[in-house]
Amino acid sequence: MSEKPAILPSGATIGILGGGQLGRMLALAAARLGFRSHIYCPDPHSPAFEVTPHRTVAAYDDMAALRSFAAAVDVVTYEFENVPATTAEMLARLKPLRPGAKALAVSQDRLAEKGFLSSKNIPAAPYRAVHGLADLEAGLGELGLPAVLKTTRLGYDGKGQRVLRVAGEAEAALAALQPHPLVLEAFVPFEKEISVVVARGLDGAVRAFDPAWNVHRDHILHTSTVPAGIAPALERQAGMIAKAIVIALDYVGVLGVEFFVVGGEGKPGLLVNEIAPRVHNSGHWTEAACLTDQFEQHIRAIAGWPLGDPRRHADVVMKNLIGAEVETVPSALDGESQPHLYGKTEIRPGRKMGHVNTILRQE
């Protein structure tokens, strides 16, 4: 580094695009470091609006509102990867945008993400771009069945994808997902899914939290358990890949990397499934088991502060509270559990309402 990066002083204002639970938890972490937060979100009922007096209620493409927002803050970050490219570019001209536009471009588009991983020799599932039925049939020929057809953009929690188990399903899947640009991915018969939450500071320092083992239900994260129950060599490999990704992206902030553990007992390996340029649901366990949690780590990074200590002091399981499950708090809380509720006023099926971290004691 040619010069020492600017350190944002306590008291400065962090601008956060997105007012969901991640934005809320970022604002809470920012407050613990003495920062103010200004939340930008089109939804006037955003849960993050409850934890700061500074807000902008406007669309993500409202350039006048974005300009006022930029003028009111000292650095801009975001809680979701689908920030429009024009919005990101405009904000980045006015204030530091961290993580930067490169991370957004790569993670917004599955093809760009896979191209990036491939260019860095980072293992991921084989894939083919699909512009029509000819591509899809050729891809199925090369990758085999089953395979997964996905939109390249805006997919999450199982939305925007179709599993193809027999060749006859190709046309219907195509019809269901087009006209969006698509990508065909080989179906990976994985042992488990794990993830690593990694941070890179403005000074280039890189620190990773321990890998978590993630279990999904109905395509939504159900639990993250740490330690992940994989071989130490795989744990180290996951951390190294996550670090390589943030270094390659010249990244500042916290990033989540999801992996498939493949190959079974004989020859275990890792494939990157997805990267998310933000704090990550599978990193919520860090609140209970680390001195610095992922939210504080992100704020430290984007403020130019030294990264905190990511070491884990306990075994832990994080359980998401989906929909009406939130009503089990507080009555079903047991002794060594730490609830975190998002203050969402309306309970809806499939909606993330909170999570509970529970310390796992050795018998």
Stretch that binds a copy of itself, among 3-11, 120-128, 162-170, 246-254 (CB under 8 A): 3-11
> With respect to a copy of itself, which residue has the nearer C-beta, 265 or 346?
346
Residue from 262, 272, 210 nearest 241 by CA: 272
> With respect to a copy of itself, which residue has the nearer C-beta, 275 or 279?
279
Residue 214 known to bind ligand: no
Number of Cβ within 10 Å of residue 319's Cβ equals 22
> With respect to a copy of itself, which residue has the nearer C-beta, 53 or 266?
53
From the number of C-beta atoms within 10 Å of its C-beta (0-12, 13-18, 19+), residue 25 rates as: buried
Residue 10 Cβ vs a copy of itself, minimum distance, rounded to whole Å: 5
DSSP assignments along 315-358, one per residue? EEEEEEEEGGGGGGTTTT--TTEEEEE---SS--TT-EEEEEEE
From the number of C-beta atoms within 10 Å of its C-beta (0-12, 13-18, 19+), residue 360 rates as: middle
Among residues 58, 111, 129, 341, the one that binds a copy of itself under rule CB under 8 A: 341
Residue 289 known to bind ligand: no
Edge-to-edge strand ranges of the sheet holding 13-17? 54-56, 36-40, 13-17, 75-78
User: Per-residue x/- mask for a copy of itself, residues 40 to 69, rule CB under 8 A?
Assistant: ---------xxxxx-x--------------
Binding to a copy of itself, residues 282-321 (CB under 8 A): 288, 291-292, 300, 303, 305-306, 308-309, 311, 313-314
338 binds a copy of itself (CB under 8 A): yes
DSSP code at position 282 = G
Residue 136 Cβ vs a copy of itself, minimum distance, rounded to whole Å: 45
Pseudo-torsion of CA 40, 102, 215, 349, nearest 10°? 30
326 binds a copy of itself (CB under 8 A): yes
DSSP code at position 181 = -
257 binds a copy of itself (CB under 8 A): no
Residue 346 Cβ vs a copy of itself, minimum distance, rounded to whole Å: 10
Count interface residues toward a copy of itself (CB under 8 A).
47
278 binds a copy of itself (CB under 8 A): no
- The set of residues, in sequence order, having a beta carbon less than 8 Å from that of 121 and lying 6+ positions away, is none
> With respect to a copy of itself, which residue has the nearer C-beta, 8 or 194?
8
Residue 185 known to bind ligand: yes
Among residues 15, 26, 36, 256, the one that binds a copy of itself under rule CB under 8 A: 36
Residue from 361, 362, 322, 360 nearest 342 by CA: 322
32 binds a copy of itself (CB under 8 A): yes
Which residue, chain included where needed, has tokens 């909606």?
A: 351
Residue 160 known to bind ligand: yes
Joined tokens for residue 132: 């029509």
DSSP code at position 252 = -
Among residues 146, 155, 269, 343, the one that binds a copy of itself under rule CB under 8 A: 343
> With respect to a copy of itself, which residue has the nearer C-beta, 36 or 128?
36
> With respect to a copy of itself, which residue has the nearer C-beta, 258 or 296?
296
Joined tokens for residue 279: 């704090």
* Residue 9 backbone zone (phi > 0: left; psi -120 to 50: alpha; other: beta): beta
- The set of residues, in sequence order, having a beta carbon less than 8 Å from that of 2 and lying 6+ positions away, is none
* Residues of the binding site for ATP: 110, 150, 155-161, 185-188, 193, 216, 273-274
Contact residues for a copy of itself, defined by CB under 8 A: 7, 10-11, 24, 28, 31-36, 49-53, 55, 288, 291-292, 300, 303, 305-306, 308-309, 311, 313-314, 326, 329-331, 333, 335-345, 354, 359
